[in-house]
């Protein structure tokens, strides 16, 4: 847990019931350490788990209980509390997933004798379709990015080339934004037509780079080299997109901010544009052009095909269109009249 997470809200448990607080905090820290060491969880994932479990810890304090002391009824009451607060079913499902994993870990480590989360029911939810933008909108965005590189000089041109490179790489590969901004320089070793990406859980996958992405990358690397020469006092970075952030690389938030500014300049609705939307566009546009679902799963780095199946609505629409256009009897029913 970070200092910021501990300071999110007052923690009366630590002063009023130090023993309970100590047991709860120790359990969370051990669980997070396991996620990091054994599953290769990212910093963002660890922060999300810490936030969810601390929220439960503070709720249980109002019932005079620590995390290891919670019973199934306590967790059910917590889920009802989340629902009453108006949290979406998807958010509550994520919280439940965190609880299940946490208590399975406590049981495996003999910190509890029974799993209180084992039989909790997940909130019913409809899986929303991903937000999509058209191929035309992507082209407008990429064209505007190129215009920006040609209309600036100095550091502003470097930033424009970086953004153009990020966009081309994102749309060419479908990388997660966290994977993209944290790419190490070592990714440039080997075949220039491929990147080896280390994704969730430390799993590696190969993603191909098209010619346009390779060109944008080359222009950015030239500008990066010039930038380094002008800032020789700066410590060398191991990242492809270095910055002065605490992480040492460009942050997701900064990239998203620059992307929305670019969308506005291009005359697109900034609310529709985000790095994640471009990842969705990559997958949907591939499927729309006939790509195999399994191949898209591998490119996206999904461990389970069910995660990729959210895009099957694209396949369904394409099949309907194909049948409508090419089946000999597709329009045969048009001559029928309904009887009253």
Q: What pLDDT, in 10s, does the model give residues 166-190?
A: 999 999 998 989 999 999 999 998 8
Please list the residues that pair with 198 across neighbouring strands. 204
User: Residue 76: pLDDT above 80?
Assistant: yes
The reply to whether 302 belongs to the active site is yes
User: Residue 131: pLDDT above 80?
Assistant: no
- Is 93 inside a domain boundary? yes
Rounded Cα distance, 309 and 299, in Å:
14
> Do 91 and 223 have their domain in common?
no
pLDDT digits (tens, 9 = 90+) for 16-47: 556 677 888 989 999 999 998 888 888 888 99
In this prediction, residue 187 carries a pLDDT of 92
> Do 158 and 96 have their domain in common?
no
Tokens representing 38? 């054994």
Average pLDDT in the chain? 83
pLDDT digits (tens, 9 = 90+) for 285-337: 888 788 888 888 888 887 777 667 766 665 566 556 656 665 676 565 555 55
Q: What kind and span of H or E run contains 194?
A: strand 194-198
Q: How confident is the model at residue 204 (pLDDT cuts 50, 70, 90)?
A: confident
- Cβ atoms of 197 and 179 within 8 Å: the answer is yes
The reply to whether 200 belongs to the active site is yes
| Buried b or exposed e, range 220-259, using 16+ CB within 10 angstroms | beebbeebeeeeeeeeebebbbbeeeeeebbbbeebbebb
- Is 303 inside a domain boundary? yes
- Is 127 inside a domain boundary? no
- Is 304 inside a domain boundary? yes
Q: Mapping DSSP to helix (H, G, I), strand (E, B) and coil, where does residue 197 land?
A: strand
Angle at which helices 72-84 and 43-61 cross, to 10°? 100
- Is 338 inside a domain boundary? no
> Do 103 and 140 have their domain in common?
no
> Do 152 and 52 have their domain in common?
no
The reply to whether 311 belongs to the active site is yes
In this prediction, residue 297 carries a pLDDT of 83
Q: Catalytic: which of 17, 157, 254, 276?
A: 276
- Is 332 inside a domain boundary? no
- Number of separate domains in the chain: 2
Q: Which domain holds residue 82?
A: 3-108
In this prediction, residue 2 carries a pLDDT of 44
Q: How far is CA 65 from the centre of its chain?
A: 34
> Do 77 and 223 have their domain in common?
no
Q: Catalytic: which of 176, 249, 252, 285?
A: 176
Q: Catalytic: which of 20, 249, 252, 279?
A: 279
Q: Catalytic: which of 200, 254, 265, 313?
A: 200
> Do 97 and 240 have their domain in common?
no
């Amino acid at each position: 847990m970070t200092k910021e997470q501990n300071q999110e809200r007052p923690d009366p448990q630590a002063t009023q019931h130090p023993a309970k607080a100590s047991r709860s905090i120790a359990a969370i820290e051990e669980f997070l350490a396991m996620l990091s060491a054994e599953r290769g969880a990212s910093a963002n994932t660890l922060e999300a788990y810490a936030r969810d479990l601390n929220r439960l810890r503070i709720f249980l304090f109002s019932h005079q209980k620590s995390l290891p002391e919670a019973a199934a009824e306590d967790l059910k009451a917590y889920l009802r509390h989340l629902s009453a607060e108006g949290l979406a079913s998807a958010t509550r499902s994520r919280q439940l997933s965190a609880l299940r994993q946490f208590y399975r870990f406590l049981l495996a480590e003999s910190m509890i004798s029974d799993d209180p989360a084992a039989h909790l029911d997940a909130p019913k939810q409809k899986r929303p379709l991903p937000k999509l933008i058209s191929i035309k909108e992507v082209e407008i965005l990429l064209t505007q990015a190129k215009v920006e590189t040609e209309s600036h000089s100095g550091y502003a041109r470097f930033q424009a080339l970086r953004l153009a490179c990020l966009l081309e790489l994102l749309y060419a590969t479908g990388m997660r934004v966290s994977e993209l901004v944290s790419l190490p320089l070592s990714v440039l070793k080997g075949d220039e037509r491929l990147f080896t990406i280390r994704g969730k859980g430390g799993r590696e996958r190969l993603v191909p780079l098209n010619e346009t992405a390779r060109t944008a990358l080359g222009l950015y690397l030239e500008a990066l080299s010039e930038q380094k020469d002008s800032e020789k006092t700066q410590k060398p970075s191991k990242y492809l997109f270095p910055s002065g952030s605490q992480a040492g690389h460009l942050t997701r938030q900064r990239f998203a901010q620059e992307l929305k500014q670019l969308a506005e300049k291009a005359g697109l609705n900034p609310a529709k544009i985000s790095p994640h939307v471009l990842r969705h566009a990559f997958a949907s546009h591939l499927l729309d052009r006939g790509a195999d679902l399994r191949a898209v799963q591998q490119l996206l780095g999904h461990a389970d095909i069910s995660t990729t199946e959210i895009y099957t609505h694209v396949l369904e629409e394409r099949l309907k269109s194909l049948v409508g256009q090419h089946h000999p009897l597709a329009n045969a029913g048009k001559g029928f009249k309904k009887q009253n």
